[in-house]
Amino acid sequence: MKVIKVKNYEELSVMAASIIGAQVINKPQCVLGLATGSTPIGTYEKLAEAYNNGILDFSEVKSINLDEYCGLSGDNNQSYRYFMNENLFNKVNIDKENTFVPDGTASDSEKECERYEALCASLGYADLQLLGIGHNGHIGFNEPDSAFAAVTHCVKLQESTINANSRLFEKKEDVPTSAFTMGIGTILKAKKILLVGGADKKDIIEKAIYGDVTPEVPASALQLHKDVTVIYVAE
Ligand code: PGA
């Protein structure tokens, strides 16, 4: 595991975008595993900047996203599909047909999970998976005590996650209570993983990467992967 400590959010964003950019340069047809949340916003801004400067070309890139709220359609501004369009896809030359997010409106959730996992498998999983982390150590929506072997599934969100995410909704009652998420097993299939966290995630990141490997801290599963880079703000 490669651990990079940075001074601030700007450095975190530049460094994460550089690693993702290098992936796109090295393999123009790569599959990027992407994440939502506050942390990657700066990274996506830097990637869009590099595209505008003619440094990056996303025309052959495919992407698979970690998760999506159940019940929200892609045009709902709280959906993760909407987030990805706004923060990255609309700003670069990626073909939206090549960008994949679980379908929050799917009526048969079991079938949607199977479809999404099969899709990820058919793409050979991510060449590089970007991950944020929750204060409880979750990655994607894999909350504490998730099985490390799990594939894409539908989860009931923990109260702490609903509370954390409610900042983005008008009222707490609007936060969906369940979501589709790649399982930890799906995430670990990525060839490379990049975990990023701001200053508020320092403690949980250090617990995840230096502590016991345990389902109580879902991100500790990353210790089992052979190619993980962690960038976090530690000052
Ligand atoms: P963030 O959280 O919004 O602080 O990036 C990421 C996460 O909870 O997975």
* Ligand 1 centroid, distance to 40 Cα (angstroms): 8
Looking at residue 216, its pLDDT comes to: 98
* Residue 133 Cβ < 6 Å to ligand 1: yes
Ligand 1 pocket mutation, candidates 80, 84, 133, criterion most atoms within 8 A of CB: 133
Q: DSSP letters along the chain, please?
A: -EEEEESSHHHHHHHHHHHHHHHHHH-TT-EEEE--SSTHHHHHHHHHHHHHTTS---TT-EEEESEEETT--TTSTTSHHHHHHHHTGGGS---GGGEE---TT-S-HHHHHHHHHHHHHHTTS-SEEEE---TT--BTTB-TT--TT--SEEEEPPHHHHHHHGGGSSSGGGS-SEEEE--HHHHHTSSEEEEEE-GGGHHHHHHHHHS---TTSGGGGGGGSSSEEEEEE--
Q: Which atom of ligand 1 is nearest to the CA of 35?
A: 9
CB of 132 sitting under 6 A from ligand 1: yes
Distance from Cα 196 to the centre of ligand 1, integer Å: 9
Token match 């900047």: residue? 49
pLDDT in the model for residue 168: 86
In this prediction, residue 27 carries a pLDDT of 98
The pLDDT of residue 160 is: 86
Q: Which residues are catalytic?
A: 67, 136, 138, 143
Q: How much distance in Å is there from the Cα of 166 to the middle of ligand 1? A: 12
CB of 38 sitting under 6 A from ligand 1 = yes
pLDDT tens-place values along the chain, 235 residues long = 999 999 999 999 999 999 999 999 999 999 999 999 999 999 999 999 999 999 999 999 999 999 999 999 999 999 999 999 999 999 999 999 999 999 999 999 999 999 999 999 999 999 999 999 999 999 999 999 999 999 999 999 888 889 988 988 888 898 999 999 999 999 999 999 999 999 999 999 999 999 999 999 999 999 999 999 999 999 7
Is the CB of residue 39 below 6 angstroms from any atom belonging to ligand 1? yes
Residue 235, pLDDT score:
76
For residue 161, the ligand 1 atom closest to its alpha carbon is 8
Residue from 36, 38, 39 to probe ligand 1 pocket by mutation (most atoms less than 8 Å from CB) = 39
Q: Does ligand 1 lie within 6 Å of residue 104's CB atom?
A: no
Q: Assess whether the C-beta atom of 87 lies below 6 angstroms from ligand 1.
A: no
